[in-house]
Amino acid sequence: MKILKIINYFFTCLLCSLILAGCGTSSTGQRFSQSKTKNEEQPAKRTYRFSSPDSVKTKKTEVEHPQITFPDIPDSSLDEFDELPVETEPIDKSKFIGNYDKMKSFNVPFTPREKILFEVIKFLDTPYKYGGNNENGIDCSAFTKQVYQSSIALELPRSTREQFKVGENISKYDLKFGDLVYFNTTKRSYPGHVGIYLGDDQFVHASRSLGVTVSSLSDLYYKKRFVGARRVENIERN
């Protein structure tokens, strides 16, 4: 009887141990399963206070740059002058105009020289404008082109560099009225500036500082930048 009690007690303890072991394993597995699920969902819910390349993936987008087009202007991209011209020997334009303005009342055919001079007078004091080609604003090569085209129907290229290739090369000491004179005024184009020789060491041109004006070849600014002259038409012979 006593032995039976001992056996029953033993089996009862063993059964309780098995039950407790089963419950412990299930609970532990369930806890790990729940913890694993939470860890898997956590990255989706996680938010970053500060963004960085490691924490936030940014979408790369291509930036489209609009195509820039430029008008039909001379060969340099900005201007004909790197340094603003300073006239040290200004010419009295009123005296220049007075010598020819009275000739308009004469009822006689004009010579090619006179036609050029009257066209020059029309443009005097026109403001300088790079790329401009009329009385509202004009640059140097447009000025020479307009004067020759309107006065004696002589066509010149649009840019100073192209005009430098036209006609006959002339020495500074052989200059005559109507010859084109050239100056190295910018690193962007050679030559950078052009004018029309008038005689007496004077030339007319579209100056950046004074607009269309008459200047002296002896002026220090132009004297040290003079690079050559071309004869596109022998005006004196006509």
The per-residue pLDDT for range 103-122, each reduced to its tens digit, is: 666 667 889 998 999 999 99
Q: Catalytic annotation on 193?
A: yes
Catalytic choice (13, 16, 23, 140):
140
- CA distance to 63, 148, 209, 213, 226, per residue, from 66 (Å): 10, 39, 34, 40, 40
Q: Catalytic annotation on 205?
A: yes
User: CA-to-CA distance for 197 and 183, rounded, in angstroms?
Assistant: 13
Catalytic choice (13, 23, 65, 205):
205
What's CA 12's distance to the chain center, in Å?
99
Q: Catalytic annotation on 140?
A: yes
Question: Is this model's pTM higher than 0.75 or not?
Answer: no
Which residues of the chain fall below pLDDT 50? 21-45, 47-78
pLDDT number for residue 235: 80
Whether omega for the bond prior to residue 191 falls within 30 degrees of 0, making it cis, is yes
Domains, in order of start, for the chain: 93-101+110-237 (3.90.1720.10)
Catalytic choice (13, 16, 23, 193):
193
* Contact status, residue 125 vs residue 211, Cβ threshold 8 Å: yes
Best CA proximity match to 185, nearest among 41, 109, 36, 78: 78
